[in-house]
């Protein structure tokens, strides 16, 4: 008899990334395990955070009480169980663009959650930005970072990447025992069995098809091909220094140094 379809085991997998961070690739890989019900941006993770905040307002206390946690968990379990039942899976895997506060709240509700922090190198993100928004970054996820860098797309994308990367690293630092670091560029070298072992999956994998995409589309690929040379000269020195530090923490080469070596 197969395992019961339930969210009560409290061991969800939450992939944390950001727009253009390559989450489509790892989601497609994880969807190859039939024990996982893979979803994207259902809103359940931030909903748990908002519900806990509402309970705190209602109770007028500091940290959430046991009653608050049980109530929010019951709400989330109902939705997650319906998702799992739709595909006969025993665990839920959500890809989310969630704040550090939402991650902390969700972990209070489901302490057994594994958070996969997915990083992507700045040159890859820059290359995708150029391909996805050839006429400008307006109405893109990058746009809110353009204020200090008017007309400078390279600096805007670098600021976006630095902020998103820093937030993920902060989540890792706050929850070191619950986080698994994955670099998008390494996915092609990590076979499904390795991911299954690290995430405690059953390892019964099936092929998960890649979605069709236009020529040059790298959004769903772990190997985007040749990357654009990073225009370091267009990026202010303080931002370049931050980018270099973040790359060092993640084991990426400094794109500014690569650009200088190529000149």
Name which of 17, 260, 238 is nearest 148 in CA terms: 238
What pLDDT is recorded for position 103? 97
42 has a pLDDT exceeding 90: yes
CA 177-254-103 angle, to 5 degrees, is 25
Domain layout of the chain by residue ranges: 13-204+226-262
Task: Quickly count: other Cβ atoms within 10 Å of residue 46's Cβ.
Answer: 19
Contact 221, 188 (CB under 8 A): no
- What would the pLDDT profile of 148-171 be if each residue is shown by its tens digit? 898 899 999 999 999 999 999 999
Residues 6+ apart with CB under 8 A from 177: none
Asked whether the whole model's pTM tops 0.75, one would answer: yes
Express each pLDDT in 109-126 by its tens digit: 999 999 999 999 999 999
- Whose CA is closest to 224, among 107, 73, 120? 120
Q: Other C-beta atoms within 10 Å of 66: how many?
A: 7
In this predicted model, what pLDDT tens digit does every residue of 61-107 receive, in sequence order? 788 899 999 999 999 999 999 999 998 999 999 999 999 999 999 99
End-to-end CA distance of the chain: 63
Spatial CB neighbours of 252, under 8 Å, sequence gap ≥ 6: 121, 122, 183
Q: Give the pLDDT score at 51.
A: 96
**pLDDT tens figures, 170-209:** 999 999 999 999 999 888 766 666 777 888 876 666 655 5
- Please give the DSSP secondary-structure letter assigned to residue 82: H
Q: What is the fold of 13-204+226-262?
A: Rossmann fold (3.40.50)
């Amino acid at each position: 008899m197969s395992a019961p379809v339930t969210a009560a085991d409290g061991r969800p997998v939450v992939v944390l990334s950001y727009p253009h961070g390559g989450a489509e690739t790892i989601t497609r890989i994880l969807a190859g395990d039939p024990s996982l019900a893979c979803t994207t941006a259902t809103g359940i993770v931030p909903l748990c955070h908002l519900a806990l905040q509402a309970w705190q307002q209602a109770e007028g206390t500091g940290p959430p009480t046991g009653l608050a946690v049980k109530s929010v968990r019951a709400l989330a379990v109902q939705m997650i169980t319906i998702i799992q039942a739709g595909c006969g899976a025993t665990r839920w895997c959500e890809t989310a663009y969630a704040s550090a506060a939402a991650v902390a709240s969700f972990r209070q509700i489901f302490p057994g959650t594994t958070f996969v922090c997915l990083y992507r190198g700045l040159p890859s993100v820059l290359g995708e930005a150029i391909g996805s928004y050839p006429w400008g970054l307006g109405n893109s996820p990058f746009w809110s970072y353009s204020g200090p860098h008017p007309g400078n797309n390279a600096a805007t994308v670098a600021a976006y990447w630095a902020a998103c990367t820093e937030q993920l690293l902060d989540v890792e630092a706050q929850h070191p025992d619950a986080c698994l670091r994955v670099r998008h560029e390494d996915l092609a070298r990590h076979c499904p069995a390795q991911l299954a072992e690290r995430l405690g999956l059953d390892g019964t994998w099936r092929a998960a098809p890649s979605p069709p995409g236009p020529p040059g589309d790298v959004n769903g690929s772990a190997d985007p091909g040749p990357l654009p040379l990073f225009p370091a000269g267009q990026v202010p020195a303080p931002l370049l220094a931050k980018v270099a530090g973040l790359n060092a923490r993640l084991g990426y080469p400094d794109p500014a140094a690569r650009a200088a070596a190529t000149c």
